[in-house]
């Protein structure tokens, strides 16, 4: 068993593409690949355990989560040698780990690693513009009193992709902003203004546990193959290309004068049976030529490095993925992550370089 102030957008696809907790119709536009008639057996049916980031200063980055988000520390100490070896760093490299969680949560932890004596570190996504592809772009949390969270984050030295953006969708009034922290780390927060969080969501005071992680992709269809045909994830949203009818402030940061002509496509997937947590979101933007950073998504480079899903058996999960034609990036190895104990971990790479880990509790 697993143990562990401008125009308000009304675009249905944008609401779902960036804000995965909104509900949507099950209708599928005819120009979009329909969902499989039957999904394969899921590799996992649980939300991800942790999102791991490489940072240059543990305390500096942790302040955002601890002082603003109210997160608590569950572990601080050396990086396990087995995991360090799996990163294939230069001889003599080491690291320190700081693991945080939103109070009351049993998954969705934030794990920060500072790599030492590991050679040159560069941001995985320098500039972090939404139309640059490769690696993870941000993860998503819910917020309360987002204006105050915004002010506190700015005072702490964090920036934002845009001002707080308003959004109306399906009866919900929302405020959304993407925070940009040290080392290019991004956290997207949004607040429901007229509705409480969904029933069953872990209670929180200011920032919730993360429930979604985003990647900007060159090819949304390639992502769909991985998510549905290989991992057996369910489709939350996979809509037709979207543009706004008039210039719009949007958290992706696409210039307002181009929001009417630059289409984007979103895909959101979740482990089967999961409605609140563990989602993976991908956005493809057409018409803006950015850079591709898929070859930077590795340690010791700075930024979000991986998400880790629990599985009942690492060997069985690995065999399922290989049988469905997807390569394994890192073979299974034994390690210890003190917040979760002894694990057997292996990983794959998404089409745009981001690492997805699978971990068996030992």
Mean pLDDT throughout 82-104?
97
Phi-psi region of 226 (alpha: psi -120 to 50; beta: other; left: phi over 0): alpha
C-alpha torsion sign, points 21, 24, 29, 34? positive
Indicate if 145 and 36 belong to the same structural domain.
yes
| Token pair of 117 as six digits | 């004596």
* Local confidence band at 20 (pLDDT 50, 70, 90 cut-offs): very low
* 94 in a structural domain: yes
* 323 in a structural domain: yes
pLDDT for 117:
98
Phi-psi region of 89 (alpha: psi -120 to 50; beta: other; left: phi over 0): beta
Residue 261 has pLDDT above 80, yes or no: yes
Neighbours of 311 (CB within 10 A): 25
Q: Which CATH number fits the domain that encloses residue 21?
A: 3.10.180
Mean pLDDT throughout 13-19?
42
Give how many domains the chain has, as a whole number: 2
Indicate if 157 and 205 belong to the same structural domain.
yes
Indicate if 76 and 195 belong to the same structural domain.
no
Residue 1 has pLDDT above 60, yes or no: no
* 146 in a structural domain: yes
pLDDT for 18:
53
* Site of tokens 């489709």: 235
| Token pair of 128 as six digits | 């972090």
Residue 234 CA to its chain's centroid (Å): 16
Phi-psi region of 169 (alpha: psi -120 to 50; beta: other; left: phi over 0): beta
Q: Which CATH number fits the domain that encloses residue 310?
A: 3.10.180.10
* 2 in a structural domain: no
* Local confidence band at 138 (pLDDT 50, 70, 90 cut-offs): very high
Indicate if 147 and 205 belong to the same structural domain.
yes
Residue 15 has pLDDT above 70, yes or no: no
| Token pair of 141 as six digits | 């949390």
User: What residues have CB less than 8 Å from 250, skipping those under 6 apart?
Assistant: 9, 14, 162, 165, 244, 256, 259
Mean pLDDT throughout 233-248?
94
pLDDT for 213:
97
pLDDT for 168:
79
* 4 in a structural domain: no
pLDDT for 14:
39
Q: How far apart are CA 319 and CA 187, in angstroms?
A: 33
pLDDT for 29:
52
* 118 in a structural domain: yes
Stretch among 11-20, 67-76, 90-99, 274-283 having the lowest mean pLDDT: 11-20
- What do you get for the CA distance between the two ends of the chain, in Å? 10
Indicate if 180 and 209 belong to the same structural domain.
yes
Indicate if 112 and 144 belong to the same structural domain.
no
Mean pLDDT of the chain: 91
Q: How far apart are CA 246 and CA 179, in angstroms?
A: 25
Q: How far apart are CA 55 and CA 283, in angstroms?
A: 25
Within 217-263, strands assigned E span 234-238
Tell me the per-residue pLDDT of 276-326, one tens digit each, with 9 for 90 and over: 999 999 999 999 999 999 999 999 999 999 999 999 999 999 999 999 999
The pTM assigned to this predicted structure is: 0.93
Residue 82 has pLDDT above 80, yes or no: yes
pLDDT for 127:
85
Q: Which of 2-11, 235-244, 318-327 has the highest mean pLDDT?
A: 318-327
More confident residue, 87 or 8: 87
* Local confidence band at 9 (pLDDT 50, 70, 90 cut-offs): very low
pLDDT for 167:
83
Mean pLDDT throughout 77-105?
97
Mean pLDDT throughout 181-208?
94
pLDDT for 119:
96
Q: How far apart are CA 338 and CA 54, in angstroms?
A: 18
Indicate if 189 and 274 belong to the same structural domain.
yes
- The whole domain housing 185 covers 12-40+137-223+232-285
Mean pLDDT throughout 8-26?
40
- Dihedral, 359, 44, 277, 209 alpha carbons, nearest 10: -10
* Site of tokens 């998504």: 297
Percentage above 70 pLDDT, the chain: 91
Residue 3 has pLDDT above 60, yes or no: no
């Amino acid at each position: 068993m697993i143990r562990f102030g401008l125009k308000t957008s009304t675009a249905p696809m944008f609401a779902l593409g960036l804000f995965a907790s909104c509900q949507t119709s099950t209708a599928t536009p005819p120009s979009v690949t329909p969902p499989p008639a039957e999904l394969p057996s899921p590799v996992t049916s649980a939300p991800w355990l942790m999102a791991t980031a490489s940072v240059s200063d543990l305390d500096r980055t942790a302040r955002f989560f601890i002082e603003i988000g109210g997160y608590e520390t569950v572990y601080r100490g050396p990086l396990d040698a087995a995991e360090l070896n799996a990163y294939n760093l230069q001889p003599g490299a080491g690291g320190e780990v700081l693991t945080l969680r939103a109070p009351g949560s049993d998954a969705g932890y934030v794990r920060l690693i500072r790599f030492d004596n590991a050679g040159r570190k560069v941001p995985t996504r320098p500039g972090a513009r939404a139309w640059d592809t490769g690696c993870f772009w941000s993860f998503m949390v819910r917020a309360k009193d987002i204006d105050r969270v915004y002010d506190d984050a700015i005072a702490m030295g964090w920036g934002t992709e845009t001002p707080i953006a308003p959004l109306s969708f399906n009866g919900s009034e929302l405020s959304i902003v993407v925070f940009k922290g040290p080392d290019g780390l991004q956290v997207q927060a949004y607040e429901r203004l007229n509705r409480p969080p969904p029933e069953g969501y872990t209670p929180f005071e200011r920032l919730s546990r993360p429930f979604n992680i985003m990647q900007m992709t060159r090819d949304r269809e390639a992502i769909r193959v991985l998510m549905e045909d290989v991992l057996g994830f369910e489709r939350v949203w996979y809509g037709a290309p979207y543009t706004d009818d008039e210039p719009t402030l949007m958290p992706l940061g696409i210039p307002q004068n181009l929001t009417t002509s630059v289409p984007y496509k979103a895909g959101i997937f979740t482990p089967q049976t999961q409605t609140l947590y563990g989602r993976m979101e991908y956005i493809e933007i057409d018409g803006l030529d950015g850079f591709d950073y898929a070859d930077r998504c590795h340690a010791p480079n700075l930024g979000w490095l991986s998400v880790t899903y629990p599985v009942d058996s690492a060997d069985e999960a690995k065999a399922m993925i290989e049988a469905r034609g997807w390569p394994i990036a890192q073979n299974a190895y034994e390690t210890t992550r003190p917040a979760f104990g002894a694990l057997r971990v292996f990983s794959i790479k998404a089409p745009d370089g981001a690492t997805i880990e699978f971990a068996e509790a030992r």
